[in-house]
Amino acid sequence: MSGIKKDNTEEKILNAAQTVFIKKGMDGSRMQEIADEAGINKALLHYYFRTKQKLFEAIFKKVFKHTFPNIGEFMLSDLPIEEKLATFIEKYISLLLKNPFFPAFIIKEISRDPDFLATVIKSQGVNPNKLFEMFENEMEAGRIIRMDARDLMINILALSIFPFVAKPLINIMFFGNDKKTYNAFLKKRKESVKEFILNSILIR
Amino acid sequence: MSGIKKDNTEEKILNAAQTVFIKKGMDGSRMQEIADEAGINKALLHYYFRTKQKLFEAIFKKVFKHTFPNIGEFMLSDLPIEEKLATFIEKYISLLLKNPFFPAFIIKEISRDPDFLATVIKSQGVNPNKLFEMFENEMEAGRIIRMDARDLMINILALSIFPFVAKPLINIMFFGNDKKTYNAFLKKRKESVKEFILNSILIR
DNA sequence: GTCTATATGGCGATAGAC
DNA sequence: GTCTATCGCCATATAGAC
Per-residue model confidence (pLDDT) at position B160: 98
B118 and B174 in a single domain? The answer is: yes
**Same-domain status, B23 and B103:** no
B202 close contact with A: CB closer than 8 A: no
Q: Could you tell me what percent of chain B has a pLDDT over 70?
A: 97
Query: By CB neighbour count within 10 A (0-12 exposed, 13-18 middle, 19+ buried), where does A143 fall?
Result: middle
A24 touches strand D (CB under 7 A): no
Residues A50 and A78 in one domain: no
> Chain B contact for A197, CB < 8 A?
yes
Answer whether residue B43 shows pLDDT above 90: yes
Which amino acid is located at B111 in the chain? S
Same domain, A96 and A152: yes
* Residue pair A162/B157 in contact by the 8 Å Cβ criterion: yes
- Same domain as B185, residue B152: yes
**Alpha-carbon distance A140 to A16, whole Å?**
49
pLDDT for position B3: 39
Q: Provide the 8-state DSSP code for A144.
A: B
Asked if A170 and B154 come within 8 Å (Cβ–Cβ), the reply is yes
Contact yes or no for B188 and A148 at CB 8 A: yes
Indicate if B25 and B97 belong to the same structural domain: no
Parent domain of B73: 68-201
Q: Are residues A149 and A73 in the same domain?
A: yes
Cα separation values, A40 from A37, A49, B115, Å: 8, 14, 31
Residues A42 and A119 in one domain: no
Residues B49 and B75 in one domain: no
Last residue of a domain, one of A30, A55, A80: A55
Establish if B91 belongs to a structural domain: yes
Q: For A196, which of B25, B108, B200 is closest by C-beta distance?
A: B200
Do B73 and B48 lie in a common domain? no
**A29 CA: nearest nucleotide by C1':** D11
Per-residue pLDDT at B7 exceeds 80: no
Q: Report which of B112, B176, B3 is spatially closest to residue A107, judged by C-alpha positions.
A: B112
The b-or-e profile of A65-94 (16+ CB within 10 A means b, else e) is eebbeebeeebeeeeebbebbbbbbeebbe
pLDDT of amino acid A3:
37
CA pair distance B102, B53, nearest whole angstrom? 19
Domain boundary among B55, B76, B98: B55
Rounded CA-CA distance B6/B15 in Å is 15
Mean residue pLDDT of chain B comes to 94
**Do residues B182 and B131 both lie within one domain?**
yes
CA distance A139 to B42: 59
CATH number at residue B187: 1.10.357.10
Whether B63 has a pLDDT exceeding 50, the answer reads: yes
CATH of the domain at A49: 1.10.10.60
Q: What is the DSSP string of chain B?
A: ---SS--HHHHHHHHHHHHHHHHHHHHH--HHHHHHHHTS-HHHHHHHHSSHHHHHHHHHHHHHHHHS---HHHHTSSS-HHHHHHHHHHHHHHHHHHSTTHHHHHHHHHTT-HHHHHHHHHHHT--THHHHHHHHHHHHTTSB----HHHHHHHHHHHHHHHHHTHHHHHHHHHTT-HHHHHHHHHHHHHHHHHHHHHHHB--
For residue A6, the model assigns a pLDDT of 46
Q: Look at residue A197 and tell me if it is in a domain.
A: yes
In a mutational test of the A interface, the residue from B127, B130, B150 whose CB has the highest number of chain A CBs within 10 Å is B150
Is residue B154 within 8 A of residue A174, CB to CB? The reply is yes
Nearest beta carbon to residue A172 from set B107, B118, B170:
B118
> With contact defined as beta carbons under 8 Å apart, do A127 and B172 qualify?
no
Task: Tally the domains of chain B.
Answer: 2
Query: B192 vs A151: CB contact, 8 Å cut-off?
Result: yes
Question: Looking at residue A71, what DSSP letter applies?
Answer: -
Q: What is the mean pLDDT of residues B55-82?
A: 92
- Asked if residue B61 belongs to a domain, the reply is no
Q: Tell me whether residue A63 is in a domain.
A: no
pTM: 0.95
Asked whether residue B63 is domain-assigned, the answer is: no
For residues A91 and A138, state if they share a domain.
yes
- B121 within a domain of the structure (yes/no): yes
pLDDT class of B4 with cuts at 50, 70, 90 = very low
**Residue B60 located in a structural domain:** no
Among A63, A169, A199, pick the best mutation site for testing chain B contact (most B Cβ within 10 A).
A169
Residue B98 has pLDDT above 80, yes or no: yes
Amino acid at B178: D
From first to last of its 204 residues, chain A has per-residue pLDDT tens of 433 444 799 999 999 999 999 999 999 999 999 999 999 999 999 999 999 999 999 999 999 999 988 877 789 999 999 999 999 999 999 999 999 999 999 999 999 999 899 999 988 888 899 999 999 999 999 999 999 999 999 999 999 999 999 999 999 999 999 999 999 999 999 999 999 999 999 998
Q: What pLDDT is recorded for position A30?
A: 98
* Residue A60 domain flag: no
Q: Which residues pair with B144 in a beta bridge?
A: B202
| Distance (Å, whole) CA B68 – CA A106 | 22
A71 and chain B: CB distance < 8 Å anywhere?
A: no
B151·A197 Cβ contact <8 A: no
